[in-house]
Amino acid sequence: MVKINYMVTFLLLSCSLGYSEQNKVKIVSCDDYYCTQLATGEQHKIVKQVDWALNKLTLSPDEKYVAYTTSNWLGFENEGRDVFYSKVDGSERIFLHKFEICVDTLLWESLDGRSFIFVVPKNCATGGQIQVIDWQSKNVILTCPGDSLAEIPGTDCYEVYYNGNPPWAARQRICLHDLEAIKEPDSLNMRFFIGWGNWDIYISTQRDQILRFNELTKSTREQEQALRNVMFSEQFALSKIVPNQKNNGIIFFGNDKTSGVFGVVDTENKKLLLFDKSDSLRFSDPTWSPDGRQLAMLRTSDWDRYFDFYEIDDKGEMNLIKTYRVETDSPLSDFRWSNDSKKFYYSYLFSNYQKVQVEVDLEDR
């Protein structure tokens, strides 16, 4: 448990010395490692104490598992951490999630059979974001600004602090009973990162990099540089894994007021499937079909809007199969495909706030 000021010191000592509430399993120092020490006195190496930065550990409430951090070549001066868990004897090591943050504290809490791992940053260069992992689903289900927690006595809640102070006038809380009600992952569950000092691309849900730029084929130096710029820009807001077994890829795009970059990378075959860079167009709202073979992308200029439809053929090539002009200036919404991937739909508001749904038949080319 964590208390502000003097209780933080107690928590860090607890992590180092390893005394749990049940006091049957301890986390101890052995050589340059953190080890678990069982009730029998048997010790098992878990992780190096310092791996570019100090690693953190926490025992599950039932003392059957231990969660720990390791370096992942991300973040400022390589302070990014991967979070794993294993049995207390060091067996069955499972990767949970990748973070581009420097971790100060791990907490493991349970309520009614559902377990949560709190990843708590310190005051690192990018600012603090406390993230909560659902241990069973391995998803990040909650993210909020903060870099320390204080247990609220008599409750299952923690008060959130940022730079030692509440982040807003009303103090934010994280409560276990609220976490139990969350069924869907947080929007940050899948994040894309670029390695520190290299151009490897990682996603937060996988341990290893999904792409090395120096292995990318069918790309020019200009395209690679544009892709890197997009990856580093704030506009790199949406990336998706192609939802089929055959192609494992990402969509990348970035825009400013007058231009845009758009492309698709097959990460399995290290291949650039599509690249489009324009000084007059902007790209948005990529939507994959249910079969993962077709992609709709909204293309906007100063005068018109179009949906471009692409298809991945049996050779893994991506081809433009249809362009559809949008006949309204109203904002668009509800982008979706039919279950058989043969039709695409979108909606807009008409007069008197009536919603109009438009159907685009992909078989009509």
Percentage of the chain modeled with pLDDT above 70? 76
User: Poorest-confidence range of 181-185, 251-255, 264-268, 321-325?
Assistant: 251-255
What pLDDT, on the 0 to 100 scale, is given for residue 8?
39
Query: Does CATH place domain 6-180 in 2.130.10.10?
Result: yes
Question: Residue 344 corresponds to which tokens in the numbers above?
Answer: 């695409």
Percent of the chain with pLDDT over 90: 38
- Residue 124 contacts residue 139 (beta carbons within 8 Å): no
**Tokens 């349970």, located at residue:** 110
Look at the block and give the residue holding tokens 């433009």: 320
Q: Whole-structure pTM over 0.95, yes or no?
A: no
Q: Is 165 exposed, middle or buried (0-12, 13-18, 19+ CB in 10 A)?
A: exposed
The CA radius of gyration of the chain, in Å to the nearest whole number, is 24
Q: Go through the chain and tell me how many residues it has.
A: 365
Over the chain, what is the mean pLDDT? 80
| Structure tokens that stand for 250 in this block | 């990402």
pLDDT in tens, 98-138: 998 889 899 999 998 899 999 999 766 556 789 999 998 89
- Report the distance separating Cα 152 and Cα 144, nearest Å: 18
Banded pLDDT at 27 (limits 50, 70, 90): very high
pLDDT of residue 57: 94
Residue with the two structure tokens 């973070």: 99
Tell me: the pLDDT tens digits for 238-268? 444 444 444 456 676 666 666 677 777 776 7
Does 6-180 match 215-361 in CATH topology?
yes
pLDDT for position 107: 94
215-361 CATH, one of 2.60.120.430, 3.50.90.10, 2.130.10.10, 3.40.50.1970: 2.130.10.10
78 in the Ramachandran plot: left (φ > 0), alpha (ψ -120 to 50) or beta? left
Q: pLDDT class for 233, splitting at 50, 70, 90?
A: low
Span 132-156, average pLDDT: 90
Question: By three-state DSSP, how is residue 211 classified?
Answer: strand
- Binned at pLDDT 50, 70 and 90, residue 218 comes out as low
Give bridge partners of residue 356 from the DSSP assignment.
348
Domain boundaries, the chain: 6-180, 215-361
pLDDT at residue 156 greater than cutoff 80 = yes
Residue 219: which pLDDT band, with cuts at 50, 70 and 90?
low
Nearest to 192 by CA among 251, 125, 104: 251
Decide if pLDDT at 285 tops 90.
no
